[in-house]
Amino acid sequence: MGEVIVITSGKGGVGKTTTSANLGTGLAMMGYKVVLIDADIGLRNLDLLMGLENRIVYDIVDVVDGFCRVKQALIKDKRYDTLYLLPAAQTKDKDAVTAEQMKKLCEELKEEFDYIVVDSPAGIEQGFKNAIAGADRAIIVTTPEVSAVRDADRIIGLLEANELKNPKLILNRIRQDMVNRGDMLNLDDVQEILAIDILGIVPDDENIVISTNKGEPAVIEGTSLAGKAYRNIANRITGKEVPLLELTVTETFGDKLRKFFGLKKK
């Protein structure tokens, strides 16, 4: 019996879809049977990040409306045999799939898959409520910015109101150089404000842009720091204990000089 994990955030543009693509792929890399559900109906994007946009025949709305069977709509990943995508509809409204239908769909997929990763739309309206309807647990993605953290707090409240207790947090797009200068909220700050468990941290990494351009999740690539961060998080989802990623900044000669003379701001 599989587990349904919803990836959500409140605020848009903090990396929900990127996180969904990377965690789903990361879990499949470990050999689990995974299906990614794009619940952002009307704004389909998970297919693009996975590089599967040209293979779509049916979508989630076709499935719940009974135009096709689930198996017909699932798109097999290019790289991993155990990974599938159920794409969103691009032409329908956010409420084209009801909460009840989502629940039923998740139950059906649980029979077949180990992990069902649901990419939720931004916002707190019906689309979000439908996306979380079938979930067993929730992951909240936020970035170290005031608006994203505030919205994450709203989402925590809404998840709890919907019986999704103990959501876990991913702090995305950390710029360690700014954290060191005191110009960016760090993990402790965000944890103090939101008071929830941390599932992982992901650095702001230009490799994410590159991998998005190519339609290949960064998690596949051995060298990128963000990819490593996502592999760690995927491991933690399965229950393994992995220490948090060390984010360090290479010091420039100027930094060293300032530090030597005690001028570096603490």
Partner 1 sequence: MFNFFKKSNKSKDIAKDRLKLIIVHDRVSTEPDLLESLKDEIIEVISRRLTINKSDIDIKITNKVVDDTNKEMPVLEANIPILNIKGK
Residues in contact with partner 1 by CB under 8 A are 144-146, 149-150, 153-154, 157, 179, 181-186, 189, 192-193
Tell the smallest beta-carbon distance from residue 182 to partner 1 (Å): 3
State which residue, 145 or 251, has the beta carbon closest to partner 1: 145
Minimum CB separation of residue 266 from partner 1 in Å reads 9
Q: Residue 236 Cβ, how far from partner 1 at the closest point, in Å?
A: 26
Parallel, antiparallel, or unpaired: how do β-strands 83-86 and 75-76 relate?
antiparallel
Using CA atoms, how far apart are residues 220 and 227, in angstroms rounded to an integer?
7
Q: How far is the CB of 204 from partner 1 (least distance, A)?
A: 15
Nearest Cα to 129, choosing from 151, 109, 101, 89? Answer: 101
Taking the least distance from each CB to partner 1, the nearer of 48 and 193 is 193
Q: Which is nearer to partner 1, 65 or 189 (CB)?
A: 189
Closer by beta carbon to partner 1, 179 or else 244? 179
Q: Please, which residue, 99 or 124, has the CB nearer to partner 1?
A: 124
d(CA 205, CA 209): 8
3-class secondary structure, 202: strand
Nearest-approach distance from CB 144 to partner 1, in angstroms: 8
Report in angstroms how near the CB of residue 11 gets to partner 1 at its nearest.
13
CA–CA separation, 247 vs 113, rounded Å? 34
Q: Which of 98, 92, 161, 152 is nearest to 127 (CA)?
A: 98
- Interatomic CA distance for residues 36 and 52, integer angstroms: 12
Pick the closer one to partner 1 by CB: 185 or 226: 185
Please, what's the b/e burial string for 79-98 (b: 16 or more CB within 10 A of its CB; e: otherwise)? Answer: ebebbbbbbbbbebebebbe
